[in-house]
Amino acid sequence: MSNEKTVPVATYLFTRLHQLGIRSIHGVPGDFNLVALDYIPKAGLNWVGNCNELNAAYAADGYARIKGISAIVTTFGVGELSALAGIGGAYSEHVPVIHIVGYPSTTAQKSGALLHHTLGNGDFTVFTQMSKHISETVALLNDVHTAGKEIDRALKTCYQSSRPVYITLPTDVVEKEIPVESLNTPLDLAFDPNDPEVEADVIDTIIQELYAAKKAVILVDACAVRHRALDEVHELMNKSLLPAFVTPMSKGAIDETNPRFGGVYVGSLTRPDIKDAVESSDLIISVGALKSGGFTYHTSAKHTVELHSSQVKIGYAVYPNMKMKLVLRKLIDTLDFKKLQHGSETSKSEPPLISNDKEADAEKSDSEVITHAWLWPRVGQWLKANDVVIAETIGYAVGATQGAALAAHELDPSRRVILFEGDGSLQLTAQEIATMIRHKLKPIIFILNNEGYTIERLIHGEDAVYNDIASWKHTQLLETFGAKEGEYKNFVAKTRSELDTLFDNNQEFSSAPYIQVVELFIPKMDAPKRLQVTAQQTAQRNAHS
């Protein structure tokens, strides 16, 4: 830092973000945050500038999943409210997003001034109250004397909880000077130790369960990723030789070339041999569970050890305030792996064989029609190690791709970022393609053209007009959104042969030298088998709940 003794509050805040590893700030300008935005480049940060706040929230979520944490700046009232669906999603899935809201001046707040973006009732806290329910903490920077401490508290909370936090930045506080001294010391992000006596009891109980088990497995879910426990998971997996499985939301978290990797557990929708391996086990070490397998798990709570970010559950006993990363570390350091009944090459249980063999997994047919049963095994053959893959979720994926692509570029520009998006979902947040182009990001965007909302058609209203959408000219989107000649390409695949040719013979395409769109034509009612079953289950729940 400089030799100055004080810095503006905005400088303090954005410098702290830089110290956390953030390099780009998502958001949308508005009159209550404009002066604050001037301080972003001064802190060595890049302003992204999104098309709307909802897209910005999705982009910040995608960025955080790659970089570990992110930030979004919106304006008071209408701006922050537009972002809440994305912030709520980040809260539910434990994604650390720092939401900074440009706020009216403290003078206006105290007087209850009638301002735009308010409800006209003098209450400036209404929108903050809304955000409290989807924020781990709220920091109101109305008092310049506590602003630095409040910033530090909120940022540490965001990092440690892996959930969004909400920070207000009033217009008359932005440039107020506060001591710079604290900035010379990076934030202490280390967790406080677990209670040693309780932790010792937890470790001893888990160890005895492991020694007694004959068919133990490890099941890794999303919070193992969000709460940065993957190094410990891999070490436990490699030293114990226990079969390890992931859930859909933790797909890619475990090294899938590891011989102990057993596949993806999706509850009742799981491949039979994988389902049997998990559900017939006599002990499950569950790490970071969000129960993301369609909420249809058929596992025994009595024979499960659940390691969560803030508690441990062993059978029916709950141990609060136990942080799983610390518990895992102590477990690995204490466990005598030779005593495990799976602890040798001759006695360990073999996980199910996971193959990426197109011929073994793909639909057997002479048809040229691109179906999901044929497509995904084929895509699996084309993907490369370290690819970032974003799959369609309605509305989220385009914005998230922008954020993920930016984060990937900052960390390793050689990584490919690949989006698979339905034509209906695309129409919700398509504008963010323009932001990708403006920042020279290079995702490959596969648009699955199946004439509307197929997932909704599978649930209800197969031929209903509300599941129809306007037909877009997808191969004109990049040019429309500002891509320059020679800096983009479009492809169309209506047959399997056309997609095979693109994958096998077009090395320039596969090298992702610039942003590209591939429009795939898929039958209107075609869907992966597991999605069809999920849709049926959803329809049944809707009818009987």
pLDDT in tens, 187-207: 999 999 999 999 999 999 999
pLDDT (mean) for 526-532: 87
Helix, strand, coil: what percent of the chain each, to 5?
Answer: 45, 15, 40
Whether 343 shows a pLDDT value over 60: the answer reads no
CB atoms within 10 A of CB 440: 11
Instruction: Collect all residues with Cβ–Cβ distance below 8 Å to 359 and sequence separation of at least 6.
Output: none
Whether 293 shows a pLDDT value over 60: the answer reads no
Rounded Cα gap, residues 386 and 76, in angstroms: 39
For tokens 């300008």, name the residue.
29
Q: What is the pTM of this model?
A: 0.94
The predicted structure's pLDDT at residue 291: 67
Per DSSP, the residues of 446-465 read EEEESSS-HHHHHHS-TT-G
pLDDT band at 122 (very low <50, low <70, confident <90, very high): confident
Rounded Cα gap, residues 268 and 281, in angstroms: 16
**477-489 confidence digits (pLDDT tens):** 999 999 999 999 9
pLDDT band at 344 (very low <50, low <70, confident <90, very high): very low
Rounded Cα gap, residues 291 and 284, in angstroms: 13
Q: What percent of the chain has pLDDT over 90?
A: 83
The predicted structure's pLDDT at residue 533: 86
Q: Is 258 left (phi over 0), alpha (psi -120 to 50) or beta?
A: beta
The predicted structure's pLDDT at residue 290: 85
What torsion do the CA atoms of 214, 219, 223, 228 make, to the nearest 10 degrees? 70
